[in-house]
Structure 1
Amino acid sequence: MVVKILKNMDFSILFAVLALSAFGTVMVYSASMVSGVMVYDVTPEYFFKKQLFSWALGLVALFAGIIIPYKNYRKLFKLILLVTVILLILVFVIGQTSNNAQSWITLPLIGQFQPAEVAKMALIIYLAAIYTKKKSYIEDFTRGLLPPIIITMAIVAMIFKQPDLGTAVIALAVSGLIIMSSGLKRTHLFFMISLAVITSFVLYNFGLSEEQLSRFDGAYQPFQYADDSGYQLINSYLAIHNGGLIGTGLGAGVQKLGYLPEAHTDFIMAVIAEELGFIGVAVVLGLLALIVLRGFVVSMHSHDNFGRLLCIGVAGLIGIQAIINLGGLTGLIPLTGVPLPFVSFGGTSLLMMMFSAGILINVHAVSRIRKVQQEQQAA
């Protein structure tokens, strides 16, 4: 079966993932080699070596996602959800604080990782499995639709409480995409949209901290808060402006030299824009778009509802996270601190993104194998 899967892979997704992740590793080195010494008091190669190790693990995760039959996740979705909840609880017990968020834990043999990144994929698997199971009575709101929504909101609330607003928003948006694709009634869809609008209003007015609210000022009035919440965005603008069409050259960017905070994580696209120009940005966006669009195409050709919802969730996750990251560094939305998929520094994020891409490839391969088998039987 493994040989058949490898022969029937979607090589366009595989190429895009490998190209983006390898390129991202190089850009992490370019973006962090100076700030590593000046800001973090480590060697110039520190973040590059960590990302290179994460990329190697990511290749293993990608291969695992490709060869493990995706239907196994449907059988294990309860266990996956339970482990995820335990990990999120552990964050509040033994979690480590970084950038004012208690989001990291360290476990034996595994090391340091971010459970919220795992939770996004776990929610996709859970919702795809549970709504496939409830497909025959999905129009029954209290019996079919509501219980998974309550569980989803509880997990999102745990992520938000860390606090990790960016990851919570992504998890909620991807969950909403899967729910809307599950076959619910139009009246229920209208109710869900209304609930999301009301929740956003209440959250903005009563649920955000002063620091989180200041990000709105930084996004929409950056020059009035140039020494505070607008500082990052202004330097992001300068990096994008400096790059022009072809950029200043790989490694020759200026804004990463202490002017642009978190250059190797949230703002790595600004570094790409400065050093490789519009052309470099276009290539990265093109590869991300290819993965997302191919993911939705694979979902349409999946022969079962679980595979369809799984692909919608994964493609939505990659697309939504990319939009939020890019929206933050261009001032379209407030900064949320989420990494650019496959490119930004971050071991857990890279690992989960490559694993999720492997799932897309597996669904495509299994669907293609089944189609060939059906054609052979019909002949």
Structure 2
Amino acid sequence: MRKMLYDFWISSGFAIIDIKQIIMIIIACIFLYLAIKKKYEPYLLIPIAFGMLLVNMPGANLMLHPENGEAGGLLYYLYQGIEFGIYPPLIFLCVGAGTDFGPLIANPKTILLGAAAQFGIFFAFLGSILLGFAGPAAASIGIIGGADGPTAIYLTGELAPELLGTIALAAYSYMALVPIIQPPIIKALTTKEERMTKMEQLRPVSKREKIIFPVIVAVFTIGLLPSSAPLIGMLMFGNLIKESGVVPKLVETAQSSLMYIITIILGLTVGAKADADTFLTIQTLKITALGLAAFSIGTISGVLFGKIMYKLSNGKINPMIGAAGVSAVPMAARVVQKVGKDENPTNFLLMHAMGPNVAGVIGSAVAAGILLKVF
């Protein structure tokens, strides 16, 4: 009996666990706490954190590569959807099916704010190069500044898959922390008078405009930058089926079932790339710091361009809406609405902020296409 118990013990994972794996399991539990207790992006953070926990359980081999006719691990096979760039475009399809581009169509000038907020991507890219990262890795780190998780996952999966776990966690962590990070930056860069600025109600957008818009954007953007086709194409297709009004079952599926299925698999497999040997490095600290800088610079550049538009419009555009140019939809727009309402209870900026917010989604996908084409 004693020998049986001994054999059982030495065959268990607890007998071979090391300190790095213990640290990673603790980190995974912290992320689970933040997702469940603090409600920080729970739909994504729970699967990511649990995938992290599973991959660091000794002996489980869930990410085992198949060799010599032996089967691979469960999460290894599920991960192939990221390996071949399938899951992120599908997420974009679902996002498109739930996005209203009306505010952007009604006020097309706000696309400039979405473009300005992408400056953080290229700032972090240059910073990564200076810190010694190779071009593909630097591009993957830079895309964190777009505050767009699926885009970060897609680009990193294509260019630097070894960094996927770290970059995905950084991207989604900063997306979750939008309500904490952005308000101090907005208030530091704007005056009370600017924050109190009320904007005129947007003009009504016709159904025809909403149907034509995704077609024009797809043709123009993909024609100009073919490497953006997977993300832009799926985003605009999702939006087209929504605005067409003739396929409600497809829209309902994309907005609910498909979105949640892909989110579960995507989260688990992204977390499964955060094994101890990959994650617990100085490189991870550098990526985390660069990601925060990228996101902050994106917010700053959006607000500063908003201030330029405030001056050029003779005070008709509230510069805060530039902060929504990062593509954390719709959280960044909600932050602008809250800060504006705190300054002026009669202010309603949500729909105005949604213009640069959805423009930021397009902008981050285009930036990813540019980086993908270069590297």
Give TM-score scaled by structure 2 length.
Answer: 0.26
Bigger Rg over Cα: 2
Give TM-score scaled by structure 1 length.
Answer: 0.25
